[in-house]
Amino acid sequence: MDPTINGFDYRRVTVAEGVTLNVAVGGSGPPIVLLHGFPQTHLMWRHVAADLAADHTVICPDLRGYGDSDKPVDVDGSGYAKRTMAADVVALARALGHERFALAGHDRGALVAFRAGLDHPEAISQLALLDVLPTLDMWDVLHGASAAVAFHLYLMAQPPGLPEELIGGSPDAFFGHFLDAWTRDPEALPADVRAAYLSASRAAVTSIVADYRASAGIDVAHDTTDRAAGNQLRMPVTVLQQDWGAALGYDAAGLWRAWAPDLSHQTVTCGHFMAEEAPAEVVRALRALLAR
């Protein structure tokens, strides 16, 4: 049996026609929704969620296409647009009785959270984004040999067929590579948790690729429209990132400030999976954001 977040109740919530999300809910008080990244599930928030549940209602879903949530077939390229996935999150919160809530996302979940903040500012009170850049900026800073660190972005951007076949041929090697390469503290991902992530990802190759493919297509179009219109995140925003700006030669805080005028940008020294490697640091940042 896969590990769970201790003390949280699990339920399935319908968020769109034919799409039901697996959700862990715990605590009571002002609501905060936590969105996981790749190649993980809601379980990545287990330490942070337990702390926040002392005085908040904490909602941890598996994103559509991941974990035990539904994995609809992407018919027209919009099924895994961050706009579609953000609408899932707002519908989820409303189904649980929350019209307005704080939102935090890591990695892919941060891209969903970013889009939710742009599309649904009335619903998002505070926004935290962990270890990503906005989609447009991400593509802009990847160039030359240094872009090799993001080879998976280019692989999964290819038309349907080849990426799914290649990844499906050895999914544990593919997904396990990122779990190993992106962490600085292997003990932060104990064997049962790592196995749960691999099992979930193995069963979701097609939908995970669709999520990434959207970020090379429809998500770019949506973000380009917002940038041209001068749309920005209206709520207080906290960004936690590794120092990729120094490694790849860009001003991370400056890129984020163009989207988020009310910004707290912090650089961390842990690995990518910061909610598991440095949960106390993440909790401090989230609690400071929630007090803004």
Contact 22, 10 (CB under 8 A): yes
Q: For 9-291, CATH number?
A: 3.40.50.1820
pLDDT at residue 241 in the model: 96
At 248 the pLDDT is 78
- The token duo for 224 is 């380009």
Residue 85 phi/psi, 5-degree rounding, is: -70, -35
> How many angstroms separate the CA atoms of 268 and 270, rounded?
6
Rounded to an integer, what distance in angstroms lies between the CA atom of residue 138 and that of residue 257?
14
Residue type at 168?
G
> 13 phi and psi, to 5 degrees?
-130, 125
Q: Map out the domains of the chain as residue ranges.
A: 9-291
Residues forming the active site:
107, 272
pLDDT of the chain, 292 residues: tens digit per residue:
789 999 999 999 999 999 999 999 999 999 999 999 999 999 999 999 999 999 999 999 999 999 999 999 999 999 999 999 999 999 999 999 999 999 999 999 999 999 999 999 999 999 999 999 999 999 999 988 888 989 999 999 999 999 999 999 999 999 999 999 999 999 999 999 999 999 999 999 999 999 999 999 999 999 999 999 999 999 999 999 999 877 778 899 999 999 999 999 999 999 999 999 999 999 999 999 999 9
| Rounded Cα gap, residues 52 and 27, in angstroms | 8
Residue 146, pLDDT score: 84
Instruction: Say what the pLDDT of residue 290 is.
Output: 98
Contact 279, 135 (CB under 8 A): no
Is the link from the previous residue into 134 a cis peptide, with omega within 30 of 0?
no
